[in-house]
Structure formats: structure tokens, C-alpha cells
Amino acid sequence: MNNTHQINVEQNKPERLVLLRAQRLFYARAKQYQAWFTLLALVLPLMGVIFGASHPEIRPYLGFGSIVVLLLEVGVVARLQKEDCKRGAKVQEQFDTEVLKLDWNQLVAGRRVDAEEVRAITTTEMSDSERKRLQNWYEVDVSRLPVQLGRLICQRTNLAYDMRIRRKYVAILIGAAGVISVTLVFVGIYQGLNLNDLILTLCLPVLPLVAYVLREHRKQNDTIETLTTLKSEVEKVWDKALSGASSTELTTASRALQDAIYRHRASNPLVFDWLYNKLRNNEEDQTRHAVERLVAEAEQKMNVAEAQ
């Protein structure tokens, strides 16, 4: 194994930071679509709570509005999100293949995102704070190892980090939706609405939100299951690496893992940035600890092998 390709150097080159920034902006735009839909889905039941009892004439409009919002999410918002998620996944794939020294697999990822599209979404100047957030995307300690081993740690980091965030997001999502739904029902009962009025004024308007939460819950759980499987596969390859697998064997295995990671990124459900930002310090601390342990384990194995 050779160690001439330094991940910590490659990932901080200006052209690589541009790729990371474009990836974040593509995903941010997809999340904006989701945020607008969520806002609309919350406004309808809120209007029902505030005006439904005193202005019964608006109830049919609230019901009609809920149907429109639901169809809008299925027919428009989901498509726009999918397009930007795919662009973001491709840009991230370009970053990873260059930094982790892997060939581009056009059969899986298709063509790279056009340079014009990357430029169009990154025309504003990168701020110092944004640059700082993008630098050292992967822990610098991985560069103490040959690239074939450091690459596996980076792939494991991607999967483990994402999995932990999504588990917490699912719990928050279900908890918040449950509190909102129960609160609306109790408010309706408190206002003296009969069953028909309760359905028309509150239950029907909250339908887009409930449908969204149930769909997201299923998708996020499916994604967590996929991430768990992929993480297990990375750890199997890691064990082979520490047992003396060849560079060619490890590169082939990492390329297959990267294909699965790309497919996951291109189709995975989104998580709002506020949760990433809130959990960032704690998650990065856990990531740093895991990387240090894996690097130390590999160095110990290599030292033993050299001594023999």
C-alpha cells in the first residue's frame, strides 16, 4: 500500500470545497421545497383552530385547501426535491471519488453534474465561516493510514453519521406530529365542534401533515435499515483490510460500497438543516472518537505485521 495520496490535503483544495458547497446548496434548495410544504401543511389546521368555530363558512375551503396541498406535494414538490437531491448526490460523489481516489462509475451515477450548474448555484462568494465548515470534511487522522484504509474509515463515517442523525429525526418527527394532532383534536372538542365539524374543520386540514409524517417515518426507517446494512458491510471489508487484503481487493470493495452510498444519497429522504446544526458538535465528537480508535487499531496491526 502507498500513502502518497493524502485525503486531508485533497479534501481542502479550493476546487473540492466548491464541490462541497454546491452539494450543500443543492440539498438546501430541496429542503426549502420541503419547508414550504410543511408550512402550508401547518397553516391549514391552524386556520381551522383559529377561525373554524367562529366562521363555519370557511370549513369547505379548508378541506379543499388540504386536498390541493396534498396533491401539490405529490405532483410538484416531490419531483423538484428529487431533482436537486440527485444533483447534490452527484456532486458529493465527484468529491468523494476525487478525494478518496476512486474511479467514477458512470453506469451507476451517470454523467457528472455540468460545471455550469455547479457554477450557477455557487456564484456568490464563499464566506469565511462557510469555508471553515467545509474544510476537513473527513477527519484528518485518516491520512496517517494508506489511502485504502483511510478511504474505508471515511465511508464508514458517512454512513454512521447519517444513521445517528436520522434516528433522532424520526423520534422528533413522530413526537411533534403526535403532539400537534392531539392538541388540535382537544381544541376542537373544547370549541364544542360536533364530529362532522371536527372532521371538516381540523381533521381534513391536518391530513397533508399526517400523510407527510407517515410517509417520512416509513422512508426514514427504510433508510436507517439500509445504512445499518451498509455500515456492516464496511466493517466486514475493514476486517479483511486488517487481515492483509490486497490494495486491489480493497479498492474494488470500496468502489462497490461507494455505488451503494451514491444510490442511497440520490434517493434518501431529507433531514432539515436545523437538526444537523443542533447536533453537529456532539456528532462530530463521536465521529472523531471513532476515527481515532479505528486509526489506532490499524496502526497497531500494521506495526505487528512489519515486526513479523
What is the model's pLDDT at position 308? Answer: 46
Task: Mention every residue, 6+ apart, whose C-beta is less than 8 A from residue 215.
Answer: none
Query: What does each C-alpha distance from 63 to 184, 207, 276 come to in angstroms?
Result: 15, 9, 34
Residue 2 within a domain = no
pLDDT of residue 75: 66
Cβ atoms 209, 219 nearer than 8 A: no
Task: Flag whether 224 is in a domain.
Answer: yes
- In contact, 5 and 100? CB cutoff 8 Å: no
Quick one: which of 100, 86, 80, 89 has its CA closest to 150?
100
* Torsion on CA atoms 144, 291, 239, 167, rounded to nearest 10: -150
Cα 207 from Cα 10, distance rounded (Å) = 48
In a domain, 63, yes or no: yes
Residue 1 has a pLDDT of: 43
Q: Report residue 259 as a C-alpha cell.
A: 455505488
- pLDDT reported for residue 201: 63
pLDDT of residue 2: 47
pLDDT value at position 39? Answer: 76
Residue 247 inside a domain? The answer is yes
pLDDT of 54: 61
Predicted model pTM: 0.82
The domain in which residue 164 lies consists of: 7-307
Domain membership of residue 268 (yes or no) is: yes
pLDDT at 53: 55
Question: What pLDDT, on a 0 to 100 scale, did the predictor assign at position 250?
Answer: 95
Nearest to 295 by CA among 238, 246, 248, 243: 238
**Rounded Cα gap, residues 77 and 73, in angstroms:** 5
Query: Is residue 238 assigned to a domain?
Result: yes
> CA distances (Å), 197 to each of 44, 105, 193, 205, in order?
15, 56, 6, 12
Place of cell 376542537: 188
Tens digit of pLDDT at every position of the chain (308 positions): 445 678 999 999 999 999 999 999 999 998 888 788 777 777 766 666 556 556 666 666 666 666 676 677 666 777 888 899 999 999 999 999 999 999 999 999 999 999 999 999 999 999 999 999 999 999 999 999 999 999 999 999 999 999 999 999 888 888 877 777 777 777 767 666 666 666 666 666 677 777 778 888 888 999 999 999 999 999 999 999 999 899 999 999 999 999 999 999 998 888 888 888 888 888 889 999 999 999 999 998 877 555 54
- Distance (Å, rounded) from C-alpha 179 to C-alpha 195? 20
Are the CB atoms for 52 and 58 separated by under 8 Å? yes
Amino acid at 130: E
Indicate whether 168 belongs to any domain. Answer: yes
Domain count, the chain: 1
C-alpha distances in Å from residue 257, one per residue of 13, 111, 240: 25, 19, 14
DSSP state of 143: G
Q: Is 1 within the bounds of a domain?
A: no
